Structure 1
Amino acid sequence: MKKVLVLGGSRHFGRGVVERLRDAGLDVTVLNRGSSPAPPGVAHLIADRDDEAGLKSALGSRSFDVVLDQVCYTPVQALIARRVLRADRYVMTSTIEVYDQVQTFTPMTESLVPRSPVDVELPWHDEEFLEAHYGEGKRQAEAVFAGGDASFASVRVAHVLGGDDFTGRLRHYVERLDAGDAVEIHAEPRPATFIHASEIADFLTWAARADFTGPVNAGSHGELSALDLAAAITAEPRFRIVERDASPFSFDRYAVLDTSRATDLGFSFSTTTDWLGEAIENLRKA
C-alpha cells in the first residue's frame, strides 16, 4: 500500500484531497499544527513545519512514497522539508500567482516561469512581506524542490471557487450585487482561469498518484473576467471603475492558464459554466 504524507489538508479543498486519497486505498498521514483533526481512517501528526527540530521529532523514522505539500509558501519552508522529509516523490501545491510577472495575451504555459534564484535571507517570516511577495515565495519554493533528490512536481492551481471557501472572494460579489451595490473593477478587467474546489481536490489526488515531474497548470476551461463573474450573479450588475484596490478577481493583466499539459497527461477538466451557477447559489443558501 502506497504511503502518502499530506502537509496541511485541514480546510477548504485540502480536506477533500485527504479523504479522496484515503478512499482510494492509500495509507494517508496528515501533518499540521493541530488546528483540526484528521478524517477517520487517516493518521495524524502534529508539528509546526517551520520548526525543524519539532518536525523531525514528529516524523521520527517515517518515510513515504509521496509527500503532497499543500502549505509551502517560502524557500525557507521548502529547504526545511527537503532536509527532514524522506519521500520518493514530492508534489507541491503551487499557484497561478507564479505567473504574476508574465505579460502576455495568450494562455500561459508552464515554461514561461524560469527557475527563480533562491534567497533565504529575505524576510519570509514577516506576514506582510510574504503576502506582498506571494508569487515569488512560491516560485522560489518550487526552485528549491526542483533541485532536490526526490521526483518533484508542482501543481499551479487556478483561482479556486466553491466548496468551503474561507477567502470570501466570490461572496464579495454575491453579497454586493444581490444588494444592488457596485463592485470595484479596473477600466479593462482581464480574464483569468478558475477551478472548482472539488475539481482541484480531484486533480491533486490524481497528481499524487501519477508519476509525471515538473510544473503543471490546473484549471477549468472557460476563462472568466470580473465582468463575467458579475453577469453570472445578476442580469444588471453595477460597477465602479477604480485604479487600485479593485474587488477580488478584477485583474489588470491577462491571467489565463494553458492546461494542455495536464490534458496530455490524462486529466480532463470541466468548464466553468458546468459549476459556476451552483457555486453562486450555494453561497446564497449558506
Structure 2
Amino acid sequence: MQRICVIGGSRYFGKLLVERLRAAGHEVTVVNRGSFAPPAGVGHLVVDRDDEAALTAALAGRAFDAVVDQVCYTPVQAAVAARAFAGRTRRYVMTSTIEVYDPATAALPAVPPGTPVPEESVDPAAWRVAMDLPWHDAAHLEARYAEGKRQAEAVLARAGGFAFATVRGAHVLGGGAREFTGRLAHYAGRVARGEEIAVHAHALPTVFIHHEELAALLEWAATAAFTGPVNACSDGALDVYGLAGTVAAAAGREALYRTVPAGAEASPFSFDRHYAMDNARAKALGFRFSRTSDWLPGAAAEALAELPASVPAPAPASASAS
C-alpha cells in the first residue's frame, strides 16, 4: 500500500486512475477545486493548484509516496507544484502528451520518415523554459499547449527533491460520452449521417491509446521506479483512413472523404506531418500494451451507440462484420 496523491483525477482516464489506485489498496488523495467529488474511500483536498499559498497550506502535515499530476499545463503550474510538494513526496509523475513531438510547434531533432519518435527527441532536462510568457491567458495557453507541456516537464525534471517521470500519452479514445474531446464522436456522426470526412491526400499515421489502458499505465508509473519520459501508445499506428474505416465498419456503412490541401484544416487525426511515437522504452520497463485493433472497433461501436436520436442508427453489428 502506498500513499498516492492525484492532482485532478475528476474525469475521463484520471477518474479511472483514481478508481484503479483505490481498488489496488492504495491510500489515495485527490486534489482539485471541488467541482467533482472523488469516490468513497478517497481523500479530498479542495484547493486551486494555481494558488501556491493555499496549496501549501492544504498539504501541511501530509506526505505521499507518489504524486500523479493530471492537470499540469504550464511551467508556472509546474514550479508551484514543485515548491509545494518539496519534501512531501518521493516521486512525481506528470501526465504529458504526444503533442510535445509536434514538429509544427517546435524545432525538434529530425527522425527518418516513417520512424516512430523516441523519448529523447524532447529532453525535458535540456528544454528552454520561459516563465515570463502569458501562461495565465487562456488564448495563449490554447495556442501554446504543446510548448506549455514541454516547459512544464522541464521545470519538474530540474526541480530536484523527488524522482520525476512523465507519461506522454497518445491520442486517447474510448469511453463514449466520457470522451469529452468528442473526436471519435466526430467520426461516428459523420459516418452515420453519410457526410464527408475532411482528410489530407497523403495523411500520415499516428498512434492511439484506450482510456482504460492509459489509466492502467499511469497506475503502473505511480508505483514504478523509472525516471524520465515514457511514451504511452497502443501497438499499431493508424492513419485517418484506417480510423474512419473502422468506424464505418462498426456502423455497417461506407466512409466518404473530401480531400483538403496540405496545411489546411482537416478532421481530427488527419496529419500531413509525422506524428507517431515509439513505445519501446515502456515495454522494456515492463508495461505490456494492447494493439489498437483490439479495442478500436468496440470504442467505435460505443461512440455510434451514443449518437443523438436525430442521427440515423447504425446497422446491427452482424451487418458490419468484415
Which TM-score applies when normalising by structure 1?
0.97
Which of 121, 142, 161 aligns to 2:153? It is 142
1:10 corresponds in structure 2 to: 10
- The correspondence of residues 176-255 of structure 1 with structure 2, limited to 5 A, is 176-234=190-248, 236-243=254-261, 244-255=264-275
1:163-218 C-alpha deviation (Å, 9 max, x unpaired): 12000001001101111001111221111010000000100001101010000000
Residue of structure 2 equivalent to 1:159:
171
Structure 1 segments of 4 or more deviating over 4 A? Answer: none
Q: How does 1:120-131 map to 2 (within 5 A)?
A: 120-131=131-142
Aligned equivalents of 2:26, 2:20: Cα separation in 1: 9
Pairing 1:65-144 to 2, within 5 Å after superposition: 65-85=65-85, 86-101=88-103, 102=108, 103-104=110-111, 105=113, 106-114=115-123, 115-144=126-155
2:188 maps to 1:174? yes
What is the alpha-carbon distance in structure 1 between the residues aligned to residue 64 and residue 186 of structure 2? 40
Name the count of aligned residue pairs. Answer: 286
Report how far residue 238 of structure 1 moved: 1.0
CA distance in 1, matches of 2:198, 2:51: 41
Q: What do residues 219-241 of structure 1 show as CA deviations (whole Å, max 9, x unaligned)?
A: 00010111111111225211112
Gaps of 5+ in 2: 307-322
Tell which structure's C-alpha radius of gyration is larger: 2
Task: State how far apart, in whole Å, the 1-side matches of 2:180 and 2:255 are.
Answer: 24
Q: Structure 2: how far apart are the matches of 1:169 and 1:26?
A: 33
CA distance in 2, matches of 1:182, 1:130: 31
> Could you tell me how far 1:70 is from its partner in structure 2?
0.5
Percent identity of paired positions between Structure 1 and Structure 2? 55
Q: Which runs of 5+ in 1 are unaligned?
A: none
Deviation at 1:57, TM superposition (A): 2.1
Question: Offset of 1:255 from its aligned partner?
Answer: 1.0
C-alpha RMSD of matched pairs (Å): 1.1
Please state whether the residue corresponding to 1:212 is helix, strand or coil. Answer: coil
Per-residue CA distance 1:55-77 (angstroms, 9 max, x = gap): 11222221211000000000000
